[in-house]
């Protein structure tokens, strides 16, 4: 929201923004990233929890006077940023024992609360050997503190997270994917508390020893675990998404980092299905990293039977049950991206009868929610004026979503079957699958090819 205010101020027009008091600290972080002074009128408390009388009193006594002052009075000076004072990239900022290094990073909120590997010059240089890019190269100014997403910053945070140097090409690809405008990393601190998950495809899955089988989403395998940790470390240290006593991350409850996923590509190929990356347009031997948000995870989807419908029919029912209440976000944005992690044994049965595209079409057609439920939850969650008609008028939903006023009618949150992804992974010895839902347009799926250094083979042979 403050991004809009910054655009206005930069046009030379004074703006004042309405912020509820629990969001003031996050607003300060966002303001620093925008680097333009922004006036704020404060609404004390939570607007959705106040009576009409309380709301009117707060607006008249606090908010409106604050907004008026913001438009008419001189702007106050801003406070300094979190994370300690800015230092020179590449320079040592602290010297100490292992314990003292941990304490230093914790003190300045430059860690995730777990012990980190000290990012010494030598350790970082080892990572930099695994990329042809120069350490000072900047991929972009990454939200929300608008800092440089430099190759050096990726290496330092990779070291701290316990990654191996040879993961560096993937780490660069991951930051490139997260920095893609489609991913909307600026929304990573929103209250639903979504978490990015990395999906790895290509020969690197085996070469770097990713777990794509039983227990794939458990902490325990170095590649999966440390790369998942890296994502959250980077979001804190460079992007500025910090939980209290930090401020940039407003996830109300949130969730911990997710270990990286990898696909059982041999299983997928044996059954004739394109891999996750192939479905995104990449070749069968391309190394690819993808990122996507996870706002909700289904329960374990156990299925049995010898026909595709025996399995996919249950997936549709369980995904509706698991994600149904969040469907209003699909109607507000027109975008909803579920991922099915299909157990290899189950996928094999399905693939005997159905293509991946047919699976997606079925799920898109059969995941249905009641219109009244979506409207009710939208109104209590964030949008008291929610109607299907509004989003049809805005061109986000097709006209048929406003053709009936019957709140008992069933409506589709997945507008297009291609919004659904399927990944073959998990325990081949059990009939279980799971589904992972993106947070609508926030953290939408993005894939990037991994660029290996020219001397990759030589480096690997050591």
**Footprint on residues 227-266 left by other proteins (CB under 8 A):** 233, 237-238
How many C-beta neighbours within 10 Å does residue 30 have? Answer: 25
Residue 71 near other proteins by CB under 8 A: yes
Q: How far apart are the first and last CA of the chain?
A: 50
Instruction: Return the range that interacts with other proteins (CB under 8 A); candidates 85-93, 292-300, 306-314, 405-413.
Output: 85-93
Q: Is 98 in the site for other proteins (CB under 8 A)?
A: yes
If binding is defined by CB under 8 A, does position 439 make contact with other proteins? no
Find the part of the chain contacting other proteins (CB under 8 A) among 63-71, 196-204, 211-219, 360-368.
63-71
Site string for other proteins, 388-417 (x = CB under 8 A): --x---x-x---------------------
Angstrom distances, CA of residue 8 to CA of 13, 33, 145, 243 = 6, 16, 19, 29
Q: For residue 241, what is the DSSP state? A: -
H or E segment and range at residue 437 = strand 432-437
Residue 101 or 301 having the CB closest to other proteins: 101
Cα separation, 21 vs 41, in Å, equals: 9
99 counts as binding other proteins under rule CB under 8 A: yes
Lookup: tokens for 362: 């079925």
Distance CA 458, CA 80 (A): 46
Question: Quick one: 43 or 323, whose CB is closer to other proteins?
Answer: 43
Q: Is 80 buried (19+), middle (13-18) or exposed (0-12) by CB count in 10 A?
A: exposed
Prior bond to 148 cis, omega within 30?
no
Tell the smallest beta-carbon distance from residue 390 to other proteins (Å).
Answer: 8
> CB of 277 within 8 A of CB of 202?
yes
Under rule CB under 8 A, which residues in 195-234 are in contact with other proteins?
233
> Any idea of the CA torsion for 72, 73, 79, 81, to the nearest 10 degrees?
20
Q: Which of 51, 53, 79, 86 binds other proteins (CB under 8 A)?
A: 86
Stretch of residues binding other proteins (CB under 8 A), selected from 57-65, 204-212, 289-297, 450-458: 57-65
Picking from 304, 211, 225, 221, the residue whose alpha carbon sits closest to that of residue 264 is: 211
Q: Which stretch binds other proteins (CB under 8 A): 21-29, 267-275, 299-307, 367-375?
A: 21-29
Determine which residue in the list 28, 29, 43, 177 makes contact with other proteins, applying CB under 8 A. Answer: 43
Scan residues 131-190 and list those touching other proteins (CB under 8 A): 138, 141, 145-150, 152-153, 156-157, 160, 181
For other proteins, give the closer residue by CB, 171 or 301.
171
Tokens of 122: 């030598």
87 binds other proteins (CB under 8 A): yes
100 binds other proteins (CB under 8 A): yes
Nearer to other proteins, 146 or 459 (CB): 146
Does 48 contact other proteins by CB under 8 A? yes
For the chain, give the longest Cα–Cα distance.
Answer: 72
């Amino acid at each position: 929201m403050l991004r809009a205010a910054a655009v206005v101020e930069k046009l030379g027009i004074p703006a004042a923004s309405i912020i509820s008091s629990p969001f003031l600290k996050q607003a300060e972080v966002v303001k620093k990233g925008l680097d333009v002074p922004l006036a704020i009128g404060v609404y004390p408390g939570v607007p959705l929890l106040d009576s009409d009388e309380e709301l009117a009193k707060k607006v008249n006594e606090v908010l409106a006077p604050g907004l008026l002052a913001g438009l008419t009075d001189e702007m106050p000076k801003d406070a300094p940023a979190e994370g300690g004072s800015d230092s020179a990239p590449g320079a040592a900022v602290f010297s100490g024992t292992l314990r003292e290094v941990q304490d230093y990073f914790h003190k300045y909120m430059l860690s995730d609360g777990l012990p980190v590997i000290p990012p010494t010059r030598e350790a970082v240089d080892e990572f930099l050997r695994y990329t042809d890019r120069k350490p000072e190269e900047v991929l972009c100014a990454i939200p929300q503190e608008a800092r440089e997403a430099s190759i050096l910053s990726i290496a330092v945070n990779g070291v701290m997270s316990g990654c191996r140097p040879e993961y560096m090409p993937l780490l660069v690809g991951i930051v490139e994917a997260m920095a893609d405008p489609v991913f909307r990393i600026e929304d990573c601190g929103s209250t639903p508390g979504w978490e990015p998950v990395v999906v790895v495809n290509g020969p690197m899955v085996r070469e770097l020893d990713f777990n794509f089988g039983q227990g794939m989403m458990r902490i325990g395998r170095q590649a999966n675990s440390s790369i998942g940790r890296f994502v959250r470390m980077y979001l804190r240290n460079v992007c500025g998404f910090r939980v209290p006593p930090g401020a940039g991350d407003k996830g109300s409850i949130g969730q911990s980092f997710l270990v990286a996923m990898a696909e059982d590509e041999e299983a997928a190929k044996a059954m004739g299905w394109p891999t996750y990356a192939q479905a995104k347009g990449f070749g069968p031997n391309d190394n690819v990293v993808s990122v996507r948000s996870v706002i909700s995870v289904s329960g374990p989807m156990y299925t049995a039977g010898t026909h595709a419908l025996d399995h996919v029919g249950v997936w549709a029912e369980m995904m509706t049950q698991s994600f149904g209440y969040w469907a209003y976000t699909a109607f507000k944005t027109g975008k909803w991206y579920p991922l099915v992690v299909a157990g290899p044994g189950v996928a094999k049965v399905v693939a005997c009868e159905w293509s991946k595209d047919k699976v997606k079409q079925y799920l898109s057609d059969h995941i249905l929610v009641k219109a009244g439920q979506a409207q009710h939850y939208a109104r209590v969650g964030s949008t008291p004026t929610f109607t299907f008609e509004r989003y049809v008028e805005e061109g986000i939903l097709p006209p048929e979503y406003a053709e009936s006023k019957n709140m008992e009618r069933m409506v589709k949150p997945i507008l297009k079957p291609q919004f659904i992804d399927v990944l073959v992974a998990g325990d081949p010895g059990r009939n279980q699958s799971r589904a992972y839902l993106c947070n609508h347009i926030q953290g939408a799926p993005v894939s990037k090819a991994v660029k290996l250094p020219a001397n990759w083979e030589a480096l690997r042979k050591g």
